[in-house]
Every structure is written in C-alpha cells, then in structure tokens.
A and B are shown apart, each in its own frame.
Chain A
C-alpha cells in the first residue's frame, strides 16, 4: 500500500477513465453554454468559437443577481442562528445526565425521522395567516427549526466525547456556565461547527421545494426557484439554459473550491462522532 506499483497504475487509469465518463455531462454542459445559438454542430463536438454572451444574458434575464443575493442572505442568517442555538442547546444535553435531559435529546432527534411532508401544509398555512409568506424571514425561520435536530445531534454526540476537565477547571476558576461554554467549549467544537455549517449551508442554499411554495411569484425568489423559472421560460434555448445553470451554481462552487480542504475535512471529521 505504500509504493506506487503496477497495480496502483492500473487503478489510476481505471479511476481516470471512470472520471472521464462521470464528467461527460459536465463537458456537454460547458460545451453548450459557450456555444453561440446559431452554431448547429452536434452536441459533443467541441465548440470552436466560444462566446461568453450566454452567461451575461442568462444572468440578466434570469434575475440571478437578486436571486443569489436572496439565497445568500437566507443561507447566512439561517446557518448563523442554527449554529448559535444548536451549540448552546447541546451543552446541557451533553453534560446533564438526568432522565429529562436524555428524554429531551430523543425528543429532538425524533424530528429526524419525521418526514418534512407531514408538517409542510400546516406550517405553510400558519405562515400565510401570519402574512409571512412571500418574505425571506419565513424561510429563515423554517430552516432554523428544520435543521435543529441534525445540528443538535451532531453537536451533542461530539460534545459527549470531549472530556470535562477543561470545563471543570474553568468552573474552579469561578466562571459561570455561559462563560465556560463560550470560552472553553465553543472553540473545542470547531470541527463539528464546520460540519454543521457545511451540511446546513449547502442544504439551505440548494433547497427548491420550500422556496417554491413560499416565494413563488414574488420578487424575493431564491436561486433555485429563479433558475427553474428561467429554464421554463427559455426551454428551447439550451445554450442559454446551460449558461444559466452554470451561473446559478457558480457562487456555491466558488465557495466550495476556495475551501475544499476544510469542506471535505469538516464532512468526514464531524461525522465520526
């Protein structure tokens, strides 16, 4: 396993071959997005005279700037509050071992098993009656509540594996619960905070169904809803559509590529618990 042998070379070739097949759709996507609408070559011949006008057109026609802004606001605020509330909540759940604490933990985790479809319509009507539909806060409230079980689960499981010595030391030094938590525990939670941010951030940013229901038709659309609408309107113009797909995905891809290592590490790391 430590040397690069013939077997490793074969494996490398196989993997690269598989990656090529795997990336075929992406090749088509990019190939058509940079192609002028008048170009009628077959779909997989490489485009000879690339153009960037489709990207500009789709960005403008799809209203993607507003949509991406809305998605970003919703994602950032949702993730911020999820991290804040879930990390705080996990502290008593992890440290207090009485029966009510254990029951409360299962009460929260049970939410993972409830399909969102059950709460979907009643919550929808509640928001409507509160006149919150069509606004971004309705989505933010929804995501905070929705992601709480997973976030609390991750935080609590992780925290239970951390020894109490540091907190006990802080307590001896006279620190109260809040100070102990913020100064001692939170920094230790960094790996799982990374996981929570990534898991919830990606889920919230890419969510489609709920924004479709809550924001459809308003000027407050998120990226996914604006994208769907754009594709429906320009369905015949695949070059434009594909350019739109790329433009809509670019923000999150940029964040991903910039933070690859942390993203992938945060993924694996926090989930070990």
Chain B
C-alpha cells in the first residue's frame, strides 16, 4: 500500500477532528453511563446497570421517549407530505412560483430559536391565533395550544413543519426536475391523468430525494431541542418532555451527568434500530 501513502495526509485533518469531537466522547459517554459520574467532581465509581435501571424505572423517561418518537415521526411524515405537495404545486406554470418558492423556503434559514419565540406568542391563550378565531366567530376552534397535554405535541410539530416544509419542498423540486420530461409527456399522450402520471412515472424518480429528506427529518426530529425548550420547557407537567430536554434537565438542573448519558445511550439504541428499519423498508420499496 505504499502507493496510497499520500492518502494519509489527505485524511488526517478530517479524521483528527472527527475522532476528537465525535468518536472519543461517544465512547466516553457509553462508559460514563455505567458510573455515578456527576460532572463536577473528578472521581467516579462504577455503578453497573444502576443508571439504566433508574432511567427505565422513571415514568418521565418513558414519557420522554414516546414524545420524542411522536415528534420525530410526526414531523417526518407531515413535513415531507407538505413539502411534496408544495413541490408538486410549484412544479407547474404558476406565475408566482419563484416568489412562492423563496417565501416557503425562507423560514428554514432562520434560527429555530427565533421561530420558537414567535410561535410561543402566536399560541398564547389570548394570542393572535385564538384572537383571530374569536373575531371570526370560530370560538369552537380556540384551544390551549401549549397548555393542553393532548395537543401540545401537535402544536410543536406544526412549528417545526412551518419552518422546514420549504426545505423538503426544495429537495423534492430538485428531484422532480430530474424526471425526464419525455416520459411525462408520453404518459399524458397515452391518456394517463395527473394521479396516474405521478404514481407511475414520477414517483420512482423521487426515491433518492425521499431517502435523503426522510433521513434528514428523522435524525433532526430525534435531535430536536430548541423548539421544545422554548415553547414549553417540557411542560405542562412532563407532557412535552423529550429525550433532549430531559437530558438537559437532568444534567444541568440536577447535576446528574451519568444519568443523562444513560439516557443518551438509550436514545442511540433506539435511533439505530429505527434508522436500520427505515433503511431496509425504503430499499425494499425502491427495488420493487
């Protein structure tokens, strides 16, 4: 392999940073999950599976796990749906399509922190949304958007979709542009209607775009912190707590660093299983 010696200098800088920032701390994380490390003091003791036992025994954790999943899946499905619909709508002769494309995409560029504060105001009990419903005589639509545990997760999901549907839209637009026009025209001549054209001609070409945007959405959904932290802080009660906010709470409010890393290990396991399943499903569908 002498002829590939040059590869080392090409790879080294990237690998150094990657290993230092991602690999080593992740392994340390796994290690600390088996201790009673508090982060403040230098020493720690082995604690076996204690942290994991505590994590699984805590009803807050089970709730947080389920909320994290609901948000991740909800965001993924609906962000992609809305993004796809918008892309299909803009992939036409509509005159204002360039302007619309910019408008729908723009929120994705702004910090989630900013949109979260904006939407916190929108969702207030006497905020713009409820006031508008009140004025329009639509009182039945008024809700306690962030204070009602049965809808708080949906409210959070809406905020994320509002910000990032345009992101998915742009990816799908790029995918649509990759579909050979002749095929669509041929189908049109053959008398296929819009739905048929989409399902049989366009859809197969979208799989790369779907794979990419699904992966990005799911990973993003599991990581979600800013919006939940700002909109509800995990409340009311523990109704919107996610793994990320629970980790923050346990590490930086209670000083339980080892417990938090055990939570992170649990999250890693679930994300890996989930990603693997998703990957297999999509590649199965793609092949057929």
Determine direct contact between A and B, CB below 8 Å: yes
Chain A interface, >50% SS class = helix
Contact partner of A16 among B10, B29, B96, CB < 8 A? B96
**What residues of A have a CB within 8 angstroms of the CB of B223 in the complex?**
115-117
- In the bound assembly, the distance between CA atoms of A208 and B230 in angstroms comes to 11
Question: Nearest-CB distance from A170 to chain B (Å)?
Answer: 14
Contact partner of B95 among A12, A141, A149, CB < 8 A? A12
- Given the known interface contacts A28-B128, A88-B13, A144-B17, the answer about A248 and B264 at a Cβ–Cβ threshold of 8 Å is no
| In the complex, B55 has a CB within 8 A of chain A | no
- In the bound assembly, the distance between CA atoms of A260 and B131 in angstroms comes to 35
Instruction: Give A92's nearest chain B residue, CB to CB.
Output: B7
Interface 1/0 per residue, B107-150 and A, CB below 8 Å = 01111111001110110000110011000000000000000000
Stretch binding the partner chain, chosen from B18-26, B46-54, B73-81, B280-288: B18-26
**Chain A residues touching B, range:** 35 or more
**What residues of B have a CB within 8 angstroms of the CB of A145 in the complex?**
17-22
B25, B121, B184: residue with the most chain A Cβ atoms closer than 10 Å: B25
Question: Nearest-CB distance from A122 to chain B (Å)?
Answer: 4
B171 and A208: CB pair below 8 A?
A: no
- In the bound assembly, the distance between CA atoms of A98 and B260 in angstroms comes to 40
Interface residues of B in 153-191 (CB under 8 A from A): 162, 167, 170-171, 173-175, 177-178, 184-185, 188
Question: Nearest-CB distance from B129 to chain A (Å)?
Answer: 8
Stretch binding the partner chain, chosen from A46-54, A58-66, A261-269: A261-269
Question: Nearest-CB distance from B18 to chain A (Å)?
Answer: 4
- Given the known interface contacts A15-B90, A145-B17, A272-B174, the answer about A118 and B4 at a Cβ–Cβ threshold of 8 Å is no
- In the bound assembly, the distance between CA atoms of A92 and B1 in angstroms comes to 13
| In the complex, A11 has a CB within 8 A of chain B | yes
- In the bound assembly, the distance between CA atoms of A35 and B147 in angstroms comes to 28
**What residues of B have a CB within 8 angstroms of the CB of A15 in the complex?**
86, 89-90, 94, 96, 100
A152 and B14: CB pair below 8 A?
A: yes
**What residues of A have a CB within 8 angstroms of the CB of B61 in the complex?**
none
B265 and A1: CB pair below 8 A?
A: no
Contact partner of A119 among B21, B110, B184, CB < 8 A? B21
A-B contact pairs, 21 of them (CB 8 A): A3-B93, A11-B94, A19-B100, A23-B103, A44-B132, A92-B6, A98-B1, A98-B4, A108-B14, A115-B271, A118-B30, A119-B21, A121-B264, A145-B22, A177-B6, A209-B244, A209-B248, A213-B252, A224-B113, A245-B114, A272-B208
Q: Which B residues are within 8 Å of any A CB, using their own CB?
A: 1, 4, 6-7, 10-11, 13-15, 17-26, 28-30, 32, 39, 86, 89-90, 92-96, 100-106, 108-114, 117-119, 121-122, 127-128, 131-132, 162, 167, 170-171, 173-175, 177-178, 184-185, 188, 208-209, 212, 219, 222-223, 225-226, 229-230, 243-244, 247-248, 251-252, 257, 260-261, 263-265, 267-268, 271-272, 275
Q: Which A residues are within 8 Å of any B CB, using their own CB?
A: 1-4, 8, 11-12, 14-16, 19, 22-25, 28-29, 42-44, 81, 84-86, 88-89, 91-93, 96, 98, 101, 104, 108, 111-123, 125-126, 141-142, 144-146, 148-149, 152, 176-178, 181, 202, 205-206, 208-209, 213, 223-224, 227-228, 231, 238, 241-242, 245, 248-249, 252-253, 256-257, 260, 263-264, 267-269, 271-272
